[in-house]
Structure 1
Amino acid sequence: MLRPNTQKYQLLELIGISGEFPADQLNRLFSSPSYAEKVITELKADKLIRTHYKDRLRGYRLTKRAREMLLHQNPLRFQYYLTGSTETNHIRSEVSRRLRLHQKAQVYLTLSHVRIPFYYDEKPQIFSTEREMIDLQALPCFYSSREVKELGEVTIKIKSSRSLGILLAPQCVYAVYNTGSNILKWEHKTEIKLNAFLQHSLQGFPYCGQPEIRAMMFGDNMETALRLLSSTGGYRRSLFMVDDSFEHFHFIPSNTHGEILLELLLHPKMTARLDQLLLSDQKSLRVNIPMEHDAIASDGTPTLLAYDFDMQRLRRFNKGLDVYGMSGNLICFDFQIPVLEKYMSSNVRFSSIDLAKFRKEFLHEL
C-alpha cells in the first residue's frame, strides 16, 4: 500500500478527484521525464492506473484496485469523487467531457503547487445545505462547481456555466475557468447569472457585506492570452470574449509563471507593497484623463500596472489610448511582454518586472 506523502500517491489523488489526469501535465508534477516514466511504469505494474488514449487525447485513469485503495485509506476525502454516478467515477468518452476533466486536473495541479486547499475534506463545506462556518483566516480555499451546486435548486440558473469552481480569497471571490489551448465556449448571460449568484449566496458569509466578484482564466500559455484578448466571440458569439460578465478577469498560464502570479493575486498586502514600489517615482492618477490608469509618469503619460494580467483593464487602457490619441506606459512581468507587445497599441512603452528577482524578494515571505 502506498504511503500518502509520496509523489506516486499524490498522482493517484489528483487522478481520483479529476477523473482523468492529462499525460502532458506530468512534467509539472515530476522533476524529470525519466522519473515520470518510472512512476507511471510502476503504477501500471501495480495495476493502479491505466492509460486512456482516444481522439488524440491521452490521459491516466484509476483502476478499480486504486479506487478501493483510496477509499479505504481516506474515505472522507474520496467518497465524494469515487462513489455513485459522479463524472469522476463514471467517466464519459466524449472529447468535450474528457477535456473538461483534463482542465480540472490542470487547475488542481496549480492549486496544489500554491498550497491552496481543494480536497473535499480539507475545508468547511459552506455550500452544503447545512453551511459550515468559515473564517477569513482560513482562506484561500477552492470549491469545485459540483460543490457549489450542492446548494440545490437555487443553482439551476447557473447549471450551464463554464466555471470549474470558485476560489475564495481573503479580499474577494474568483470564479475560475480554464480555456486550455483553445478558446472556451461562452454564454454571456449564464456567466452574468453566476456573478449575481455568487454575490448573493456569499453575502456576509464569510465576507462582511457583499463580496467583490472577479474571475480568473487559466490557459496553457501566454499565447492563449493573446487569442482571448483578440477574440470577438466567433461567428455565432458562442466563444469567449472579454465582455462585462466580470469587471476584472485575470489570465493565468498553467505553468510556474502562473503559479507565482496566483500567489500574488491571493495576497493583497503583497500586491499593495509591490504597487507602491513600482509607482514610487510617478504622480497620482489625474481626473482629467478619462481612461483607465494607475499613475502619471513624469512626462505626463498615463501608466497602467498590468502584472496581474487583468484582461478587462488591459482592454480599457488600450482602447483609451486609441480613442484619445495618447501614448502610455505599461508595467508587467518580463514573461508577459511578448504577448502584450502584439496586443497593445504601438504607442505603449513597457517596463518589466524581473520574475526571478520578484520571486527572491517577495515570495520568500510566504
Structure 2
Amino acid sequence: MKELGLEMIKVHGSRMVGSLMTPSHTFAVFNGMDAVPTFDTQIEQRGKIMLQNIRYMRTGASHTPDGILLSDQWAVMTTLLKDAKTYKKEHFLFGEGYEHFYFLTNDYHGETLLWLLCHPDVIGQLNAMLLQELQPPCRNAFIENDARTDAGAPILFCYLPDLPRLFRFLSALELLQMKGAILCFDFQADALQPLCGDKVVLQTIDFAEFERRFLTLP
C-alpha cells in the first residue's frame, strides 16, 4: 500500500506496524501480507493501551481505538471467518482485541476503503443514500443490522468489512435460523460468497458509481 501517513508504534513482540490517527478516530494497523495472521492477545493489549494513552496526551480525548488488518488477498478474510467457527478461532480478532477490526487489502481498493474510514461524513452520506432503497434498521432485534429488506430480513452493511461484526451477524443468522442480506461493494462479492451459504443474499454496490459520486473532484 502506498504511503498513508501511518505513525510508527513500537511494542516489543507486537504485530502492529503503526497507527493511524484522524480527528475523530485512532486505528491500530496490522499487515498480514499474504499470510493468515496470529496474535498474542496479551502483547497486543499493551499496544492498545499505549495507543489510548498517546491519543489522550495529544488531544485530551480518551476513546478506544479500532483495528485495521491489511492483507494482500481477500482469501485471508474468508479463511479467518471460517476458522472463527472452529478451534482455530483468532480470539484477538474476534472479541478480545478491538471492537471494530476492519479488513482492507493492499491495493487500490484497500486505499479507497482506508480513505473512506478516515471520512465518516462520507460514510454517513453513503449510508443515507443506501437507506433510501431499504427499510430502516430494527434497533431492538436480536441481531445487529443496518437496514431491513421489505420482508423484514436484517441487512448488514459490509462495504467496510468489520471482522467481529460480520462474524456476529453470520453466527446470529445461523443460531436463530434466519435469513438475511449483506451489502458490499461488487469487488468484495467473490470473497464473501463462500461465507453466506443459503441463509444470506449478497447485495452489491457498484464501485465505479461510488467513485464517480464521491471521489471525483469537482
Instruction: Name whichever structure is richer in helix by fraction.
Output: 1
| Residue identity in the other structure for 1:243 | G
Q: CA separation in 2, counterparts of 1:236 and 1:186?
A: 12
Q: Give the SS at the match of 1:292.
A: coil
Q: Decide whether the 8 Å contact of 1:233 with 1:240 is kept in 2.
A: no
Q: Give the SS at the match of 2:165.
A: helix
Q: CA separation in 2, counterparts of 1:256 and 1:176?
A: 17
Deviation per CA, 1:190-213, whole angstroms, max 9, x where unpaired?
21222222223312622x521341
Alignment RMSD: 2.4
Q: Decide whether the 8 Å contact of 1:228 with 1:240 is kept in 2.
A: no
Where relative contact order (Cα < 8 A, 6+ residues apart) is larger, the structure is 2
Q: CA separation in 2, counterparts of 1:286 and 1:238?
A: 30
Look up the match of 2:191.
Answer: 339
Q: CA separation in 1, counterparts of 2:153 and 2:18?
A: 39
Question: % of aligned pairs identical?
Answer: 28
Look up the match of 1:188.
Answer: 41
Match of 1:289 among 117, 129, 141: 141
Q: How big is the shift at 1:165?
A: 0.6
**Which structure 1 residue ranges, 5 or more long, are not aligned?**
1-109, 118-141, 147-157
Q: Decide whether the 8 Å contact of 1:221 with 1:255 is kept in 2.
A: no
Q: Give the SS at the match of 1:331.
A: strand
Look up the match of 1:46.
Answer: none
Look up the match of 1:313.
Answer: 165
Q: Decide whether the 8 Å contact of 1:328 with 1:347 is kept in 2.
A: yes
TM-score normalised to structure 2 length: 0.90
Look up the match of 1:143.
Answer: 7
TM-score normalised to structure 1 length: 0.55
Q: Decide whether the 8 Å contact of 1:220 with 1:253 is kept in 2.
A: yes
1:351-366 matched pairs, under 5 angstroms: 351-365=203-217
Deviation per CA, 1:153-212, whole angstroms, max 9, x where unpaired?
xxxxx4221100101122211100011111123101221222222223312622x52134
1:234-245 matched pairs, under 5 angstroms: 241-245=93-97
Q: Decide whether the 8 Å contact of 2:19 with 2:28 is kept in 1.
A: yes
Q: Confirm whether residue 270 of structure 1 aligns to residue 122 of structure 2.
A: yes
Q: Confirm whether residue 213 of structure 1 aligns to residue 65 of structure 2.
A: yes
Q: Decide whether the 8 Å contact of 2:146 with 2:157 is kept in 1.
A: yes
Q: 1:345 to 1:247 in 2, by over 3 A?
A: farther
Q: 1:234 to 1:163 in 2, by over 3 A?
A: farther
Q: How big is the shift at 1:225?
A: 1.5
Q: CA separation in 2, counterparts of 1:362 and 1:260?
A: 11
| Residue identity in the other structure for 1:205 | R
Look up the match of 2:31.
Answer: 178
Q: How big is the shift at 1:235?
A: 7.7
| Residue identity in the other structure for 2:19 | I
Q: Decide whether the 8 Å contact of 1:229 with 1:242 is kept in 2.
A: no
**Which structure 2 residue ranges, 5 or more long, are not aligned?**
none
Q: Decide whether the 8 Å contact of 1:228 with 1:242 is kept in 2.
A: no
Q: Give the SS at the match of 1:217.
A: strand
Q: Decide whether the 8 Å contact of 2:155 with 2:181 is kept in 1.
A: yes
Q: CA separation in 2, counterparts of 1:290 and 1:177?
A: 31
Look up the match of 2:75.
Answer: 223
Look up the match of 1:203.
Answer: 56
Q: Decide whether the 8 Å contact of 2:68 with 2:104 is kept in 1.
A: yes
| Residue identity in the other structure for 1:144 | M
Q: Decide whether the 8 Å contact of 1:318 with 1:345 is kept in 2.
A: no
Q: Which region of structure 1 is more displaced relative to structure 2, 176-185 or 281-290?
A: 281-290
Q: Which region of structure 1 is more displaced relative to structure 2, 268-277 or 189-198?
A: 189-198
Q: 1:239 to 1:179 in 2, by over 3 A?
A: farther
Q: Confirm whether residue 248 of structure 1 aligns to residue 100 of structure 2.
A: yes
